[in-house]
Amino acid sequence: MSRFSPQLTGAHALVTGGTKGIGRVIVETLLSEGVSVSYCSRNVRGDEFATFKDATGGARAVGTSVDISNAASIQGWVKASAEDFGRIDLVVANACPKYVSPSIEDWEKSFHADVLGLVHLINASEPHLEKRNGTGSIVVISSLAGFEARHPAIRGPYTTLKRAQATLAKDFGRWLGPKGIRINTIVPGTIDSPPVDKPDGTVELSQFQQIMTANPDFLKSLIDSIPLGKVGQAQDIANAVVFLGSSLGKYVNGVNLIVDGGMSTAL
């Protein structure tokens, strides 16, 4: 049984970047709410959630390898997912490539994935979401780094394009709202996410864990700037997705929901 919103039970969601980090926890949380999930990443095995036992209501997860910078790849995935499940109720745009010491070519790749890819995802999903008669929802996962420039990968496209995604979502909200589709942005602060168990039995640390292990002083500076005195968990973001994606948030549209333990108030 759904923990939060019965309206989500039996729904179908699309989640980009659903194999690792925050995206993976979002997929697991939706499955536990009775939501079937079509998830994608650049390289998908298909068995990422084979051992997940908390799905309810017959919910299942189907993975597909998708290049989010390629319009045809996104459009084909959305079309096939809609045909597989007969509906699309929720779209979560989470995927975002990150580059260290990026070249101009990396900036271009990021723009095609983060901005144009989001446009293609919204455009491809819109006809299916409109059929939900007022319950369709899009949730964009941005980052506080896009608003406060706190990410350690300075001079890179990540911070710039995360802000662009949030602005894009607000703008598209004026078009989607009259169609009965809500679009909102979640702005995570400093968020830890669980490691991933790999098929060979090894454990891969999350990107956050890798970065903070290599930069302990930076991690301390982040925690010192959070009024709650701790980093958030990926589950905090997944819970916000459930709120915005369900009838619990039915009158919330075009907002930036900051989930940061108060960090932005102290900067």
Contacts for 62 with CB less than 8 Å, ≥ 6 apart: 36, 37, 38, 39, 46, 81, 84
pLDDT at 1 over 60: no
**Is the whole-model pTM more than 0.85?**
yes
pLDDT at 25 over 50: yes
| The pLDDT of residue 73 is above 80 | yes
pLDDT averaged over every residue in the chain: 92
Kindly report, residue by residue over 181-207, the tens digit of the pLDDT. Answer: 999 999 999 999 888 877 777 888 888
In the prediction, which pLDDT does 5 show?
A: 63
Which of 12-21, 94-103, 175-184 has the lowest average pLDDT? 94-103
Q: What is the pLDDT of residue 197?
A: 77
Q: Which CATH superfamily is domain 6-266 in?
A: NAD(P)-binding Rossmann-like Domain (3.40.50.720)
Lowest mean pLDDT among 42-51, 102-111, 142-151, 171-180: 142-151
pLDDT at 267 over 60: no
Q: What is the pLDDT of residue 34?
A: 96
Least confident range of 83-87, 118-122, 145-149: 145-149
Q: What is the pLDDT of residues 98-115, one digit of tens each?
A: 776 789 999 999 999 999
The ranges assigned to domains in the chain are: 6-266
